[in-house]
Amino acid sequence: MAALTDPDLLFAAEGRQLSLARALYAGVKDLPIVSPHGHTDPRWYALDEPFPDPAQLLIVPDHYILRMLFSQGVRLEELGVATLDGSLAETDGRAIWRRFAAHYYLFRGTPTRLWLDHVLEHLFGIAEPLTTATADRCYDTIATLLQRDDYRPRALFERFNIEVIATTEGALDDLEWHRTIRDSGWSGRVVTAYRPDAVVDPDFEGFASNLDRLGEITGCDTGNWAGYIEAHRKRRAYFKAFGATSSDHGHPTAETANLSDAAAEELFNRIRRGSEDGRERKLFRAQMLTEMAKMSRDDGLVMQIHPGSWRNHSPSVFRKFGRDKGFDIPTRTDYVTALKPLLDCVGLERDLAIILFTLDETSYARELAPLAGVYPALKLGPAWWFHDSPEGMRRFREMTTETAGFYNTVGFNDDTRAFPSIPARHDVARRVDCAFLARLVAEHRLREDEAHELAGELAYTLAKKAYRL
Helix, strand, or coil (residue 29): coil
What is the secondary structure of 95-138 as a DSSP string? HHHHHHHHTGGGGTTSHHHHHHHHIIIIIT---S---TTTHHHH
Going by the DSSP 8-state scheme, the letter that residue 385 receives in this structure is G
Neighbours of 1 (CB within 10 A): 6
Among 22, 29, 43, 67, binds a second copy (CB under 8 A): 67
Pick from 1, 73, 149, 185 the residue near a second copy by CB under 8 A: 73
CA–CA gap between residue 466 and residue 411 (Å, rounded): 8
Distances (CA, A) of 92 to 52, 54, 56, 467: 12, 11, 10, 41
Q: Does 367 bind a second copy (CB under 8 A)?
A: yes
83 and 95 Cβ atoms separated by less than 8 Å: no
The dihedral built from the CA positions of residue 383, 386, 389 and 394, taken in this order, carries a sign that is negative
The least CB distance from residue 392 to a second copy, in Å, is 6
- DSSP summary character for residue 243: T
Q: Which of residues 116-175 bind a second copy (CB under 8 A)?
A: 129
Distance (Å, rounded) from C-alpha 27 to C-alpha 40? 28
Which region among 161-169, 275-283, 295-303, 330-338 touches a second copy (by CB under 8 A)? Answer: 330-338
- Pick the piece of the chain touching a second copy (CB under 8 A) from 6-14, 36-44, 230-238, 459-467: 6-14
323: contact with a second copy by CB under 8 A: no
Options 149-157, 186-194, 258-266, 393-401: segment touching a second copy (CB under 8 A): 393-401
Residue 309 host element (H or E) = strand 309-310
Question: Binding string, 277-316, against a second copy, x = CB under 8 A?
Answer: ---------------------------------x--xxxx
In terms of Cα–Cα distance, which of 133, 191, 124 is closest to 159? Answer: 124
Residues 87-106 that bind a second copy (CB under 8 A): 105-106
Burial of 337 (0-12, 13-18, 19+ CB in 10 A): exposed
Contact between 374 and a second copy by CB under 8 A: the answer reads yes
What does the alpha-carbon distance between residue 278 and residue 274 come to, in Å, rounded to a whole number? 11
Does residue 13 belong to the site contacting a second copy (CB under 8 A)? yes
Number of separate helices (H) and strands (E) present in the chain: 22, 11
Question: Pick from 220, 454, 463, 469: which binds a second copy (CB under 8 A)?
Answer: 454
- Contact call for residue 11 and a second copy (CB under 8 A): yes
Q: Does 114 bind a second copy (CB under 8 A)?
A: yes
Among 245, 246, 401, 421, binds a second copy (CB under 8 A): 401
| Near a second copy by CB under 8 A: residue from 1, 30, 72, 149 | 72
Smallest CA-to-CA distance from 431 within 118, 74, 62 is with 118
For residue 410, the minimal CB distance to a second copy (Å) is 13
Q: Which stretch binds a second copy (CB under 8 A): 83-91, 170-178, 209-217, 384-392?
A: 384-392
**In the set 27, 223, 300, 373, which binds a second copy (CB under 8 A)?**
373
Using CA atoms, how far apart are residues 82 and 85, in angstroms rounded to an integer?
Answer: 8
The answer to whether 392 contacts a second copy (rule: CB under 8 A) is yes
Q: Per rule CB under 8 A, is residue 327 in the interface with a second copy? A: yes
Of 26, 49, 91, 109, the residue at the interface with a second copy (CB under 8 A) is 109
The per-residue DSSP string of 205-225 comes to TTHHHHHHHHHHHHT--TTSH
Give min distance, CB of 463 to a second copy, in A: 17
Q: Which is nearer to a second copy, 164 or 435 (CB)?
A: 435
The yes or no reply on residue 15 touching a second copy (CB under 8 A) is yes
The residue from 160, 375, 396, 467 that contacts a second copy (CB under 8 A) is: 375
